[in-house]
Amino acid sequence: MKTNNSQSLFEVAQQHIPGGVNSPVRAFKQVGGNPVFMKRADGAYIFDEDDNQYIDYINSWGPMILGHNHKHVVEAVQAQVKRAFSFGTPTALEVEMAKLIKAMVPNIDMVRMVNSGTEACMSAVRVARGFTGKSKIIKFEGHYHGHADLFLKKAGSGVATLDIKQAGGVPTAVTDDTLVLPFNDPAALQQMVGQYKNELAAIIVEPVAGNMGCVLPQDGFLQLLRKLCTDNNIVLIFDEVMTGFRLSKGGAQEVYNVWADLVTFGKVIGGGLPVGSFGGRKDMMSCVAPLGNVYQAGTLSGNPLAMTAGLATLSELNNNAGIYTELTKKGEYLRDKMHEVFTRKGLAHTINQLGSMISIHFCEGAVVDFQTASKGNNDTFKKFFHHLLDNGIYLPPSAFESWFLCAALSEADLQKTIVVCESFVA
């Protein structure tokens, strides 16, 4: 592939942007080489500045569940652009978005729009602390809830990819109230809750982790979380920034039939534009200003362009439940066929998949937490990543990130992916 334009852009970008990228996960630091600069997209494909075409398994890290440039989403945004970009006042669009979220996620009583997943998670923890009058929280190793100070303790995503042991600029005093546990470890969870139950405001969890690869909860773990929180006056927060509206209409909550007190959303609800939200029980959400004294604000919260793209995307998902069935079939096909290819070669691997989220780990044994995810052979992953990239398939440039499938992926796209996997092991 020709890469001259991307290489030139990266050289210039490094002079003006830290590392040449505006988010660390876009860098190729773990896999080696330089990032590819994209200029357009359509359906299941993205195209770089050198006009190379790629099957897209990032999909903007999750939002493009329908595929790029979906007709109804584009038409809706084009119409809104002619009306206004932003008001800084309430709009009917915000009301419609809140109503649709509540209709699709039955345990949401009230919802507040924000501008990112980080804002949503940060605000949900603040609500939990304000509601309970307690300060400590539990998070899980390898889970990523955004780049707010209190979450950058044994976090996943770019923190794990770049192997940052201690996040710079974060005073230890800020994270003293953040307790960290291994995911899927009931004994450790019960011990810590027992020790700190009178100080714990919240437990925040990715119900299906997407920031150390795709890592599923083991049987009974989410149910245990729910019971411990109920029994000990602890707020259970599900971070569904990735899984919300992606795994089902009701997200991971619906899939596992476990319902949190507060839920955070992002990605899919913006249809590709910057957006986030948090919502939950009315008594908790009533603590949020102007109703209560838990302050949260945002100049561009509920931005009409983001609301329009999100409404169009969620409406497509809400009106066509078959999208989720088809996405699951595609995910299972990819999982099973890759497993066949790597097994025939005798290449150690584990593939985790649920719905349209999937990841491969080049290691023996199950991947159930950050420690087991970290056992993957990164040298093999580097070779795998670049082989697929060179053959027109774009994966997350990190073994610690989930892939995201979109509805626009065709059978031919999936088959090409398997053929390229076969050429890799050959």
Question: Residues near 316 by Cβ (< 8 Å), separated by ≥ 6?
Answer: 66, 70, 72, 73, 323
Which two structure tokens, joined as six digits, stand for 181?
Answer: 């546990």
Note whether 402 and 242 are within 8 A (CB): yes
Confirm whether 144 is a catalytic residue. yes
What CA–CA distance (Å, rounded) separates 322 from 317? 9
**Per DSSP, what are the bridge partners of residue 179?**
138
Residue (of 372, 367, 133, 111) closest to 234 by Cα position: 133
Confirm whether 197 is a catalytic residue. no
The number of angstroms, rounded, from the C-alpha of 223 to the middle of its chain's C-alpha atoms is: 22
Helical H segments across 374-410, by residue range? 378-390
Residue (of 332, 170, 144) closest to 243 by Cα position: 144
- Say which of 144, 256, 324, 394 is annotated catalytic: 144
| Cβ atoms < 10 Å from Cβ of 360 | 26
What CA–CA distance (Å, rounded) separates 77 from 305? 6
Residue type, 336: D
Note whether 105 and 253 are within 8 A (CB): yes
Strand order of the β-sheet with 403-404 is 350-354, 357-361, 403-404
- Say which of 48, 185, 239, 261 is annotated catalytic: 239
- Say which of 267, 324, 330, 369 is annotated catalytic: 267
Query: How many residues are there in the chain?
Result: 426
Helical H segments across 201-266, by residue range? 221-231, 251-256
Note whether 42 and 278 are within 8 A (CB): no
Confirm whether 239 is a catalytic residue. yes
Residue (of 256, 205, 180, 193) closest to 229 by Cα position: 193
Sign of torsion over alpha carbons 254, 258, 264, 266: negative
Torsions phi, psi for 278 (to 5 deg): -135, 150
Residue 394 has what DSSP assignment? Answer: E
Note whether 65 and 59 are within 8 A (CB): yes
> Looking at the annotation, which residues are catalytic?
144, 239, 267
